[in-house]
Amino acid sequence: MTPIRRLAFVVNEQKVGACDLASDLVALAEAAGVNTRVTHAFPLPTSHLRDVNACCVIGGDGTLLGAAPAAAEAGIPLIGVNRGSLGFLTPWAADEARECFTTLLAGDYVTTERALVTCRCGEGERVAALNDILIKDASNSRLVRLEVFADDELVTDYLCDGLIFSTPTGSTAYNLSAGGPLIHPAAEVLAMTPICPHTLSNRSIIFCAGVKLRVHNLSDAATGLIVAADGRLLPAPAPDAAIEIALSPYRLRLIERRDHSHFAVVRAKLKWSGGAAADKR
């Protein structure tokens, strides 16, 4: 792959060891002749990703989620280095990053693409998320009735705690906890999973990439909604405002090792186990 000559760093200084690791990686990059810049700010300064070849995110999955929309729109691939806990999206451990960083910058890596989901409440700004969009009762104490349309065709109305609209990347997050399916990250689909639906036959629905979804709040007037994009609360929608959901035209590129295996990560992070034959493989 193309060598990286200009590299931005995004460092979550709240994560133990992140600043020391960033100093080490910056030193390795500069010793290899790479121009670097570093920020600890969130959201990212608008100019931070300008004129760079890649961005190294040091923190947890949440840190990478925060950087993903801007990186996708700018066409800048992300290197995720884990100083958090789970590390689905930040697969490089600190010692691995230190050991491999010079060769990675020289072009020893592969890139994969991930879809993002977008959301707009009424006439508000459209925002993007790498994992999911969440719609639920603002007080967290009441059921909501949500009516869903797909390309102007009624799907159904749900009486539930809320709805999760997940990308394939986000299928291992809240979607999985709510009983939704695991989806291969290369799939061009969007999953809708109800949270604790009152009707037990309500299950996840998988939509094709081009679908335009619309959600209406049919709850009584006292029931307001919250809408969150990867955990970031959006301005509260008006009671009669439609909430529009679709896949983004942008794709996020992730820089990974040549031997990276999605299912190896899933097996490790979700603690899957098998028989002796599986262990030998």
Active site residues: 61
Q: Cβ neighbours of residue 132 under 8 Å, at least 6 residues apart?
A: 117, 164, 165, 166, 167, 170, 173, 174, 175, 229, 230
d(CA 169, CA 132): 9
DSSP letters spanning 79-125: EEEE-SSS-SS--B-HHHHHHHHHHHHTT--EEEEEEEEEEEETTS-
Q: Are 161 and 135 in contact (CB under 8 A)?
A: no
